[in-house]
Each structure stands twice: as C-alpha cells, then as structure tokens.
Amino acid sequence: MSTIIFDTATNLFYLQTEKSSYVMMLQKGAYLMHLYWGRQIPVDDITWSCEPPYRRWSRIVDPEPESDFYTSEYWPFEYPVYGSSDFRPPAIEIENLQGYSLCDLKYRSHSIYRGKGSLQGLPSLGEYQQDRATTLEIVLYDAIMEIDVVLFYSVFDQSDVLCRHSEICNKGDDPVIIRKALSSSIDMKHGNLQMIQFSGTALRERYPVKRALAYGTTSVESTRGISSHIQNPCTLFTRGSADEFQGEAYGQNLMYSGNFIASAHIDQYDSARIQLGLNPFNFSWLLASLNVFTTPETILVYSDQGTNGVSQEFHHALTALLPPGSTRVAERLIGLNTWEACYFDISHLKLMQLAEKAKEAGIELITLDDGWFGRRNDDHSSLGDWNVNKHKFPKGLNAVSEELHQMGLKFGLWLEPEMVSPESDFYNEHPDWCLHIPGRKRTQWRYQLVLDLSKNEVCDYLIEMVSEILRTSGVDYVKWDMNRRLTEVGNELGSSVGQREISHRYILGLYRLLDTLVKRFPNVCFENCASGGGRYDAGMLYYLPQAWPSDNTDPSSRMKILYGSTFGYPLSNFRSHVTDSPNHQLGRRHSLQFREHVATCGILGYELDITKLDQQEIDVIQEHNCWYKQYRSIIQNGVFYRLEDPFIGNKAAFQVVSQDKKTTIFWFFRYRAEPEEAYFQIKLCGLDPAEHYKCLETGRCYHAKTLMNLGLTLPWVNHDDLSVRWTFSRLDD
C-alpha cells in the first residue's frame, strides 16, 4: 500500500510505494535532508535508527543549523543550494535585483493529502487518477530572498513510481531571476553506481550506454529545444552487478520535451548527487512579485528486480497514470503509411490503389504522409500553406476520407504545424512568426524554420488552423511531425532575460496547443513524430498516446531501437513498420517473415508500395495481421521483458506476458548467421510457476519452471534472418 507519513518524534518524512521507501529528515527542524531511497523499510518501524548521515565525522564541527560552526558540505540535501558551504551542483539558483544569488532554504511547513494537483501548463502523472494518489507538499523558504520553494511528492496505489516537482513562489515586492530550477535532486551513497543513458542520433535513437560513475559530474543534456535524438531525458542507475533481471536499479524520467539535463555528481566522500530537470544552459526566468514558477515533473522508480523491473514500472505509469482518453486505451490500429511507399509522389488515385490492397491484406488505417498540401513536391516549400494540393487531390481530403470510410478503413493525415517553409505564402504574410534574432541569418534545416510557439497569437492561430483541418477532412488519425531543432531561439520582443525564457515558453506553448487539440478531438488518435524519435519523451506521451520512434525501418536496427526505447517507454508507444527489402535507409535485405516478426513487437504497420507485392506476399501479410489482431491487446497492455541484448552478439529476444499470465508471446531474432554457432537457449520470465504452457506454433507443452529455468532451445538455420514469434497459452486444467 502506498502511503506518506510524517513522524513528529523523529522528524522523518516516510514515503512508501508498493515496494520501495523514500525517506527524508528535517535536521533540527530546519534543513531537509535526504536519507534513503531503495527497497522498502517497514513503515511501522519508523523510529529505525536514522542516525544523521554524517559523511565524515571528524569534519562535522557542529550539527546545529543555527550554529556559527555549521557547514553544509557534509550533508545529503533534498533540494540543495549553492553559496554557503555545499560546493556540489545545486538544484536551484535564484538571483535578486542586487545580483546576489545565495539562497538558504529552511523548512516552514508541510501537508499530506489524498489526491494530486495538476502542474500549471505541464503534463504530469496521476492527474486523472486522484483516487490512487497521496501527495506531500513541503514548504521551504529563504527569508532574505523572500522566496518560498514548495517541494511536491506523490505516490500511487498499486504502483512503484514516485513523482517530484517544485514550485518557486516570489513572496517579495521585487522580481527575482531564476537561473536554475531542477525537478529532482537525490543524494545517495555512490557504492559502485553506473549510469545508463540513451544516446544516438536520427536513425539510431536511444542506444543504451552504460558508464561507471567517477569523481566529478557525468551528465547528458539537450540544448536543441527538443528532448532530441542525441540524448533522452530518461536515465537509469544500477548498483554493482545489477543487470536486467536482478539487483538494485533506479530510474528517473522527466515529463518534458525540451532542453533538459540529467546528471550524477560523485564527490570526495563517495556520495552521489543524482539530478534531473530543465537545462539551466541559456535559461533564465523573470519571476515577478507574487508569481509562481513550476518545474516539470520527474518520475522516479526504484526496483530490486534489475532494469526490467524499473522499465515495467515506467511502462505501467506511462499508460495507467496518463489521461485516460479513448484513443489511449483503444487497440492500436494496423496502419499503412504512404511515406516510404511513394514519398511526395502521392495522389488520390495512388492512395486508393494502396487502400484497396491494404484492405485485402487486413490493414485498418491509411495515413497520408507528407506531400498532400501547397506546392509540396519535395521538402523545399509549403509548410504553413496547409491547403490541399488540387492537382494531387482534386476532390479534396474529405472525398479521400469518405472513400476510405466506405471501404471500412480509417483515415490518417501527416501534419507538421510547428514549422514554416520560407518558400510559402504563410511565411510572406508572417515573417516574424518564426524564431529569429533580428538582424541575424535565420538558419534553415530541411529548408524550414520553426514557428515561435512562445507567442500566444501563434499558438492560437495553430489551434484554429489544425482544428479546421480536422473538422473538415474527416481525419481519424494525425501523425504530428516536427523535423528540426531550434536555432536563433529569440524574437523581436527582446529583453535580456526574456530571450532566455523562450525555449521553455516554446514547450509551454506546444503543450497548450496539444492539450487543446486532443481535448477538442477526443476521437482522433495522435501520433508523435519528430524526424522519427527526436521528441520521444514522457511529456509528448502524456498528450499523444503513440509515437514513431525512428525513421530507420531496417528490422535489425529496429530491434536495437526497440531495446533501448523500452527502458523508459511502453510498447504501446512504439510504432513499427514493415518496409521494403532492400531497406531504404541501410540497403539491407530481410525476409518478409523477419520484417513482420520485428514489426509485430510494437504497434504494427506498413510503409511500402503494397500494390507491387505478389499474391503470396499479400497472403503472408494477411496472416500476420490476423495474428496481430488476436494478440495486440496483450502486446499493448502486457508485462514486457527484454531477454537478450541486441548490442551483444547477433541476436535479440523479447517477451510479453498478459496481466493474467495466461498468455505469453516470445520473439527471437538472430539477424546475422555466424560460423559454427551453438544453439541458442533463452529463458522466459514472469510465468505462473505452478502451471504448464503450450506453444501454439510448435504444439509442444512445457512446465513453466522449465521455460523459466532451463529455457527454450531455438531452431538452428544456416542463413541470416532467423526469427521466431511463439505464442504460449497456459494449460489451466
């Protein structure tokens, strides 16, 4: 049972999730210290000897905060500041009009209540699951700066996540400048911690990289205005020999889609300070008198079941604790996307030809990708001119939608609303609506500029523009794209502080835009895309229930991207398409079966000219679609395991277990044959240990313990592209 307690005798704040504990202490009623985060400590034993965590006894001159001989360097702070005697990275930096930035945060009050509030303009967990949440608010203050900092913590029934964020309130008469305001900071014993980050670039997003932490700061960040392909706001920490299946693992993820920093600092006494939040680089915020600044929310997970344990909690939280719209819970549709099928060379006729074959193959949704509007025959023009291209679609989009609906298919549409092409009518009308620095060159990327979503009038315009398209074209599905990073982050409204607010204001504008649209069109399913996985983060997932994780559709790359992505994000967010062989990005050839097997581990779709396939191939596709329709709700809602790491050797294996443990699906991929290979034996996880399971494809029955302890022996073939997808059903009688 998740709970939060304050014990007046010991001055301890005790937060309990289903399996973990998080403990803070008020040092002499003044400073808030972090004591513990890890495997559960019994709540009825709250007087456990929580010795103050002196880190170096000889140097603790005086533990009395009011004493002249008090020093903060040796203490584990819950929300640290810089300026007196703690020289580690602070969580917050505020500057007053005189230019002083010392802040000394002391305890004022706290409250504990059932439920959880929303974050002003920002996504957060559990807003719609109030009956599952318990929240703690701790108010800290600095009397001279006249600042209150409120720390928020929430835990949820039947969950192991803990959410944190803070609010900074200016109680004085003068404005102050926020230079840094992180969402979370946790001091813990170093004890052989490693950090796992998810790094890459477009076409190889979220490859896991594990680093041992050493003295100093280890960090990943984004300064691109989007969470980015290069680094991801999700990071994990493992202790000692912990691996995917056992040992202590910690996860932190930020519900934010812009510039972030995730870091771990190891100090001279082997303490780790793990932090996450808005990137202070090129950021500041002018906080007027009586105003409040809210940080994004950090999601924290501890597991003693290794990194799979952490991931499963993230998966649960990023489905069950998000807004419960019908498109979030609906079964994911099998789609066909026109992009790799015909790129810009699309027309009404071509779309209908694709649709006809798609229908025959059991596909349910046709998504009209780029190229349907303005003079868009390549990527040089027309973003902003969102009117249908009458040469390609003479009868308009509504006719497309009607015809598709008559065939029993859904209609999806690609949009990239945040962008403008300099070669467009829209740009000529609103040259100042893009991010720019007056007098400077406007850097183009893919021949386009970014609209300034920090401006209310731009967001208001986009809300109405997208609404009009959705209202008039009968669209069931939107692929929301964003194909560049932010440069010249500025506008003509310049003030020295205001310009450094724009990156964050951009994200607040984006969230307002998305929030309004998804609420206005609750039956339209939105998919998040940013040149593939450039904004694959929990903030976007709050608004848009699924994502296009990469523009790399090569199946042997895809399994690596899937592997890395699932550390932080659920399978229900991961769209995967069967595309041409040879593959358009890497030129590799893979059998249709191999491509299908990879794409069914996620949200299945197609992105190829299906009219060019022969009947035998259509039959194969039909068969896989049939299988997928039967099992997709388990794939979407089951418990997911990474069994084999595709970055080691030439194979990958994944498994999903249904919540009732009656069904499990197992995928194995060995994409490159090696000489004299031994048989592969892979152990399954998460089955009911007392039961037998039957493999529906081979007809063989196994005891669950055999599957979990000895494992499955995979078939051997002397060529590339060995893949299996086996479905096991529990024998209940």
531 binds ligand GLA (CB under 6 A): yes
- Classified as helix, coil or strand, 363 is coil
Q: Which is nearer to ligand GLA, 306 or 549 (CB)?
A: 549
**Closer Cβ to ligand GLA, 258 or 532, answer by number:** 532
**Which of 160, 370, 527, 554 is close enough to bind ligand GLA by CB under 6 A?**
370
Q: Kindly state whether residue 483 participates in binding ligand GLA, applying the rule CB under 6 A.
A: yes
If binding is defined by CB under 6 A, does position 160 make contact with ligand GLA? no
| Least Å from the CB of residue 374 to ligand GLA | 13
Residues with a catalytic annotation lie at 481, 551
How far apart, in Å, are the Cα atoms of 365 and each of 86, 354, 410? 57, 11, 4
Q: According to CB under 6 A, which one of 339, 373, 511, 594 is a site residue for ligand GLA?
A: 339
Among 86, 167, 481, 537, binds ligand GLA (CB under 6 A): 481
Tokens of 141: 């203050």
At residue 36, φ and ψ (nearest 5 deg) are: -160, 140
Omega prior to 582 cis, within 30 of 0: yes
Q: How far is the CB of 413 from ligand GLA (least distance, A)?
A: 11
Binding piece for ligand GLA, criterion CB under 6 A, among 165-173, 489-497, 527-535, 567-575: 527-535
User: Mutual orientation of helices 348-360 and 396-406 as an angle, nearest 10°?
Assistant: 20
Dihedral of CA atoms 430, 436, 438, 439 in degrees, nearest 10, equals: -110
Sequence-ordered list of residues with C-beta below 8 angstroms from that of 51, at least 6 positions apart, any chain:
none
Q: Is 529 in the site for ligand GLA (CB under 6 A)?
A: yes
Binding map of ligand GLA across residues 538-557, x = CB under 6 A, - = no contact: ----------x--x------
Identify the residue among 89, 233, 532, 545 touching ligand GLA (CB under 6 A): 532
Smallest distance, Å, CB 550 to ligand GLA? Answer: 8
Closest approach of Cβ 483 to ligand GLA, in Å?
A: 5
Please work out the total of residues on this chain that contact ligand GLA, with binding judged by CB under 6 A.
Answer: 11
CA nearest to 25, candidates 180, 265, 187, 252: 187
Q: 633-659 burial string, b = 16+ CB within 10 Å, else e? A: ebbbbbbbbbbbebeeeebbbbbbbbe
Cβ proximity to ligand GLA: between 141 and 569 the closer is 569
The whole-angstrom separation of Cα 64 and Cα 48 is 22
Between CA 545 and CA 324 the distance in angstroms is 10
Minimum CB separation of residue 179 from ligand GLA in Å reads 35
Least distance from ligand GLA to the Cβ atom of residue 381, Å: 12
Residue 24 · residue 12 · CB < 8 Å: yes
- Give the DSSP letter string of 409-441: -EEEEEE-TTEE-SSSHHHHH-TTSB---TTS-
- Contact pick of 369, 527, 554, 644 for ligand GLA (by CB under 6 A): 369
Min. distance of Cβ 325 from ligand GLA in angstroms?
23
476 part of the interface to ligand GLA, by CB under 6 A: no
Q: For residue 260, give both structure tokens.
A: 């972030």
What is the Cα–Cα distance from 462 to 452, expressed in whole angstroms?
11
Complex with ligand GLA: residue 335 or 532, whichever CB lies closer: 532
Q: Specify the DSSP class assigned to residue 204.
A: E
User: Reduced to 3 states, what is the DSSP secondary structure of residue 361?
Assistant: coil
Nearer to ligand GLA, 305 or 483 (CB): 483
Give, as ranges, the residues between 687 and 716 that touch ligand GLA (CB under 6 A): none
3-class secondary-structure state, position 154:
strand
Interface residues with ligand GLA (CB under 6 A)?
A: 339, 369-370, 414, 481, 483, 529, 531-532, 548, 551
